[in-house]
Amino acid sequence: MNIKEYGNLFNLTGKSALVIGGGSGIGAAASKGLAAFGAEVICADISTDNAEKTAAEINADGAKASALKIDITNIDGLIKTIEGLDKLDILVSTPAVNVRKPILDYTADEFDKVINLNLKGNFFAMQAAGKRMAAQGGGSIILFASIRALMVEPGQSVYAATKAGTLSIVRTLAAELGDKGVRANAIGPGVVETPLTAPIKNNPDWYNAYASRNALGRWARADELAGPVVYLASDASSYVTGTLTLVDGGWTAIDGRFTPPL
């Protein structure tokens, strides 16, 4: 490769990216990052207003984006939406929910709530995108796991199980569709300031304890996840599949531990 070709490694011009959860938090940041490198982004979210807000911000900066309503727990609707897209080269899916409770206090409804969104919804989004990408001979799928795929703390049982499961299905898809040119990878954030973690931010002791338990001594901003998404979506990672990219401020390197109030 010559210098110019290296300079194009992150170029996503002509690519179409569907970002599920693109209305807020990490999904919004991922949408903007992909658009900044030339992708035409479909910002999909259960909140149409939030999806339209992200798309409007992207378009106002001269990039290309549209908005779409998706409920990742409505499996039939999810699959039909993905099948109906004109073009799909990149899938990014970020939605997750957590019910922080000891295992002995968990109810069946709470279990189903976390499993249905975090694992089942992401599985069928990945499946539908994988079918399209296999048929067209290539594509990149990026799902969000967590440091909780590797290590847990009290109150995180079902959430952690879904994130470990997410990593497993990503690795399996990578193994099954590698010969079709489809890559599948997971990103494992540490503590990130998003709507999901807002309740922790409102508890100063809890918030500060998490900040002190990673090497950088702070929480991540949502926009700090955009770079890894762009990398995994682009030709810069053309030989990367089946991986977990940790973006955790060194949390797993130093094995931070905090027992939260439950």
Q: How far is CA 208 from CA 66, 188, 198, 218, in A?
A: 37, 21, 13, 8
Catalytic residue among 163, 210, 234, 237: 163
Catalytic residue among 146, 157, 234, 237: 146
What's the pLDDT score for residue 54?
Answer: 98
Catalytic residue among 159, 210, 234, 237: 159
**159 labelled catalytic:** yes
| Dihedral sign computed on CA atoms, order 61, 62, 63, 64 | positive
- Write down the pTM of the prediction: 0.94
226-261: pLDDT as tens digits: 999 999 999 999 999 999 999 999 999 986 566 667
**106 labelled catalytic:** no
What's the pLDDT score for residue 194?
Answer: 84
Q: How far is CA 130 from CA 28, 92, 215, 260, in A?
A: 22, 12, 36, 38
- Crossing angle, helix 25-36 and helix 48-60, to 10 degrees? 30
**163 labelled catalytic:** yes
As a whole number, the mean pLDDT across the chain is: 95
Exposure pattern of 166-185 as b/e (b: 16+ CB <10 Å)? bbebbbebbeebeeeebbbb
Q: Which domains does the chain have, with CATH numbers?
A: 3-248 (3.40.50.720)
68-123: pLDDT as tens digits: 999 999 999 999 999 999 999 999 999 999 999 999 999 999 999 999 999 999 99
